[in-house]
Structure 1
Amino acid sequence: MSEHRICVGAIAGAYGVKGEVRLKSFCAEPKAIGDYSPLWSEDGTRQFELALDRPIKNGFAARIDGVRTKEDADALRGTRLFTDRNALPTLPDDEYYHADLIGLTVLDTGGRELGRVSAVHNHGASDVLEVQGPGLKTGALLPFTLEAVPTVDLAAGRIIADPPKGVFPE
């Protein structure tokens, strides 16, 4: 997949019997996924023209060009949908796309390298950065708060962190 594309949603399977799909949106404004059509498969080999029909539990019922039956829709279950990075709106200062954080080097306030961001998780309260690095058997979970992460420098490819005690080995 191109590094210039970002995952904005996924197809969760068929919705009904007339070719509609159940669509999960990963956008901050869920309906915005409809603004990014056409969308691409993860490998970039398939393009999807979609139209949102209506909100449903945990997503939207949507139509995709060429999908006419329940079987066609079910065959797309699990397909992650990507849009070109430059199609997304510019964010205000101190807001970041998760994809922009993954791979950044994490340094403590003294300049010691703690690792690299391997994933960004959100379990409801706030984002948490998963950091993989030297001396870590499993990823360390760093709260993505202003207190724990005072500086994000995308241009330099680094994050300065002041992690809570116990997140990283001493």
Structure 2
Amino acid sequence: MDDLICVGALAGSFGVRGEVRLKSFCAMPEEIEAYCPLTDEQGNGSYSVILTRAIKGGYAARLTGVETKEEADALKGLRLFAPRDRLPKLPDDEFYHADLIGLAVFDTGGAHLGTVKSVQNHGAADLLEIQGPGLKTTVLLPFTLDAVPTVDLAQGRIVADPPEGLF
């Protein structure tokens, strides 16, 4: 799984001719076509994607082997993955969400705050959802340089300087 990165998901059919609704998770959404063929989470299947047009919330697309509305509906919820070696190398200050999930989070004093459960973005900036001991619910930590000065993938840890009162 470490060598696969989720680049999109299917949200059901679009129309009656076998097109699917596709949500692209790529920085440039239309680049999802360049990473084909895509696979499912287990690395099975092979899906080539051709974007046909932009629609609300994503794209209408054609997948190889999908010809009917029923076949497209059956794929609803399928997450599409590309091998890491087909994706572009990132600058030192950018990360794939898959690399952040599961990292241990420590404050600047070395106290363990929790673990990254997910990375969310509701429009303004990325937020790290952190779950941990002593937390009744998860905490959303802004993924900014001020709040997260250090991400050490080699050591599997994040050093955070959270806003006062967050934890």
The TM tier, using the shorter chain, reads over 0.9
TM normalised by structure 2 equals 0.94
- Which region of structure 1 is more displaced relative to structure 2, 54-63 or 113-122? 54-63
Cα pair 2:104 2:112 within 8 Å, conserved: yes
Partners of 2:155 and 2:116 lie apart in 1 by: 14
Matches within 5 A, 1:22-61: 22-61=21-60
Q: Match of 1:27, as an amino acid?
A: C
SS in 2 for 1:48: coil
Deviation at 1:45, TM superposition (A): 2.5
Q: Match of 1:136, as an amino acid?
A: L
SS in 1 for 2:73: helix
The alignment's C-alpha RMSD in Å is: 1.2
Deviation at 1:110, TM superposition (A): 1.0
| Pair 1:94 & 2:74 matched | no
Where do 5+ consecutive residues of structure 1 fail to align? Answer: none
- 1:166 is matched with 165
Partners of 1:133 and 1:16 lie apart in 2 by: 44
Partners of 1:66 and 1:148 lie apart in 2 by: 46
- 2:113 is matched with 114
Q: Match of 1:101, as an amino acid?
A: L
TM normalised by structure 1 equals 0.93
- 1:126 is matched with 125
Matches within 5 A, 1:127-142: 127-142=126-141
After superposition, the C-alpha distances for 1:71-90 in whole angstroms (9 at most, x for unaligned) are: 11111111111111221111
Aligned length: 167
> Percent of pairs identical after alignment?
65
Q: Match of 2:89, as an amino acid?
A: T
Partners of 2:113 and 2:55 lie apart in 1 by: 42
Partners of 2:56 and 2:123 lie apart in 1 by: 18
After superposition, the C-alpha distances for 1:92-128 in whole angstroms (9 at most, x for unaligned) are: 1211111111111111111111111111111111111
Partners of 1:44 and 1:10 lie apart in 2 by: 15
SS in 1 for 2:120: strand
- 2:83 is matched with 84
Q: Match of 1:143, as an amino acid?
A: P
Deviation at 1:166, TM superposition (A): 1.2
Q: Match of 2:59, as an amino acid?
A: F
Where do 5+ consecutive residues of structure 2 fail to align? Answer: none
After superposition, the C-alpha distances for 1:19-50 in whole angstroms (9 at most, x for unaligned) are: 11121111110001111111111232222122
Partners of 2:129 and 2:12 lie apart in 1 by: 29
- 1:151 is matched with 150
Q: Match of 2:121, as an amino acid?
A: N
Cα pair 2:101 2:116 within 8 Å, conserved: yes
Cα pair 2:33 2:48 within 8 Å, conserved: no
